[in-house]
Structure 1
Amino acid sequence: MSAKKLDFSSRGWGRVCLLSVLGTLGCIAVAFAIDSYSFETGMWRWGSDPWNNFFIPLVLGPPIFGFLLSRQRALAIAHHRLMIVASTDGLTSCLTRSAFTTLVDAYLEKVAAEENRREGALLVIDVDNFKNINDSFGHDRGDEALKVIANTIKGAVREIDLVGRLGGEEFSVFLPGLDSDRTAAVAERIRAAINAAEFVPDGQRCALSVSVGGATFERSASFAQLYKHADLRLYAAKRNGRNRVEIARAAGLDGSAGPVMH
């Protein structure tokens, strides 16, 4: 039996089948109870035709419960899809800024509540000279470039990492559980992959590049604090020539930062 058939969530058929069976059994029990109890004598007894108490609910119960529960399942699926649409950027299929920040802060709050040491990092990625792409090829081609960049970023990170579009040509990646060295390696992999990505608007190859700023953490932090440090490193990458990675260590809630890595 496949995992999908065993799905007992509000969107799964397993829940519909299970509740239909339980509902039908409940109806059979109620039918026997009503038919078997005598209000005149206050005693229980078998009714005149007890098999009807079994067959009628058995025939009517499953289709009625199945219909009602399948409608409930359809509503749950529709709600789930709406939540995905509301939290996903329509152009790049990355998380929206609000969804991204909410998930990152939720993770960081969990880390702060635990005693054991946790590591991670936040990367802020900005497309270099994006205005030139729009001016040279048009905004439609600019949108295509953003899609290429978003897909390249998602292909360079793990499934557990979060990728969000913060706005315009700025993206962000949250890397839970990575130390400074591995964060630097991931950031460089993203930069190199985008630089090598194929983007040929109107038959003319256009090189893409990004600047990456990052902030790593070991204990307590918030999205706002990590973003502040990462954004400062992003501006440093821009000042130092673009198409490069700059990462600092955000020590924690005191707002201090560690040494910069190139």
Structure 2
Amino acid sequence: MTELRRELPRRAWRRIGRVTGAVTAISVALSVIFTNLIMEMFSAGINVQGLVVSIVMPIALGGPMTFVLVLKHEQLRHANNRLEHLATTDWLTACLNRGAFTRAVTDHLGRRKSATESGALLIVDADDFKSVNDRFGHHHGDEALKLIAAAIRHAVRSSDLVSRLGGEEFGVFLADADAATADHVAERIRGAVAAIAFLPDGQTCALSVSIGGATYAMRAEFGHLYRLADRHLYEAKNTGRDRVAMMQAA
């Protein structure tokens, strides 16, 4: 039971309790009604012994059976949720993985309510990250990536999507954001990463990111936005790094 408590979240146990209690109560009520109907056919109705039996039997037999069935259902639900999480989440940073991010953005662009709805795609790339791995090892490089991912998530809005696209590259999708908002969020991300106190082996190691972005105010496709944002990421890299380069896509 201790392992089960650790495996299932608290809300799952609350559901198990509610469903088991409700089904058991209904079973008891139906048992009393049917027992009374049967007893009325042969006598004056249900007596004390019959009432006790009609209440105890559903609780003693139906309660445990219902608990086990609902428990197995919740375990299956929890296992499926974990599999879905693993299939859509980057193992290191807990951001969306590339596939899940691409699908989510593509779906959003495909179901936009208005042809004039605006938004933006940002590509965030850690500057000179190879030197971090070379100087301090991949273990500290992984720690730096987790810090960068946390800084990005903290800097964006709750409705924005954050993904690790691969290596030291991250994607951010800003729904319902105009060019000014997108630029503001991108600068906030850049500043949040620059403010990270990264001290591998006690040594100070500055972190920074370059950000390329593409905003849209009309119909847009993920592939087109990605190519534009990637082009401007290289522009940000080539003009000094630790900066933002944005472009209106359409």
Moved more, 217-226 or 147-156: 217-226
CA distance in 2, matches of 1:18, 1:187: 46
Higher RCO, 1 vs 2 (CA within 8 Å, ≥6 residues apart): 2
2:190–2:209 contact (8 Å) kept in structure 1: yes
* Matching of residues 251-262 of structure 1 within 5 Å: 251=250
Q: Which amino acid aligns with 1:72?
A: H
CA distance in 2, matches of 1:30, 1:115: 56
CA distance in 1, matches of 2:35, 2:227: 69
* Matching of residues 107-256 of structure 1 within 5 Å: 107-111=108-112, 114-115=113-114, 117-251=116-250
Q: What percentage of residue pairs aligned between the two structures are identical?
A: 45
1:134–1:141 contact (8 Å) kept in structure 2: yes
CA distance in 1, matches of 2:118, 2:68: 49
Cα deviation for residue 25 of structure 1 reads: 5.0
Gaps of 5+ in 1: 1-10, 252-262
2:35–2:46 contact (8 Å) kept in structure 1: no
CA distance in 2, matches of 1:144, 1:21: 46
1:233–1:247 contact (8 Å) kept in structure 2: yes
Look up the match of 2:8.
none
Cα deviation for residue 137 of structure 1 reads: 2.1
Moved more, 18-27 or 142-151: 18-27
CA distance in 1, matches of 2:78, 2:57: 32
* Matching of residues 7-156 of structure 1 within 5 Å: 12-25=12-25, 27-28=27-28, 29=30, 33=34, 36=37, 50-51=50-51, 52-111=53-112, 114-115=113-114, 117-156=116-155
Q: Which amino acid aligns with 1:172?
A: G
CA distance in 1, matches of 2:108, 2:160: 12
CA distance in 2, matches of 1:105, 1:140: 34
CA distance in 1, matches of 2:84, 2:69: 23
Q: Which amino acid aligns with 1:244?
A: R
Gaps of 5+ in 2: 1-10
CA distance in 2, matches of 1:203, 1:18: 52
Cα deviation for residue 212 of structure 1 reads: 0.3
1:164–1:171 contact (8 Å) kept in structure 2: yes
Q: Which amino acid aligns with 2:58?
A: P
Aligned residues: 237
CA distance in 2, matches of 1:92, 1:158: 18
Name the Cα RMSD after superposition.
2.8
1:121–1:214 contact (8 Å) kept in structure 2: yes
1:127–1:169 contact (8 Å) kept in structure 2: yes
CA distance in 1, matches of 2:85, 2:24: 34
1:217–1:249 contact (8 Å) kept in structure 2: yes
CA distance in 1, matches of 2:199, 2:72: 47
Cα deviation for residue 21 of structure 1 reads: 4.0
Tell me the TM-score normalized by structure 1: 0.78
CA distance in 2, matches of 1:110, 1:13: 36
SS of the aligned residue for 1:12 comes to: helix
Q: Which amino acid aligns with 2:16?
A: V
Cα deviation for residue 202 of structure 1 reads: 2.4
Residues 1:143 and 1:13: Cα distance change in structure 2 (over 3 Å): closer
| Greater helix proportion | 2
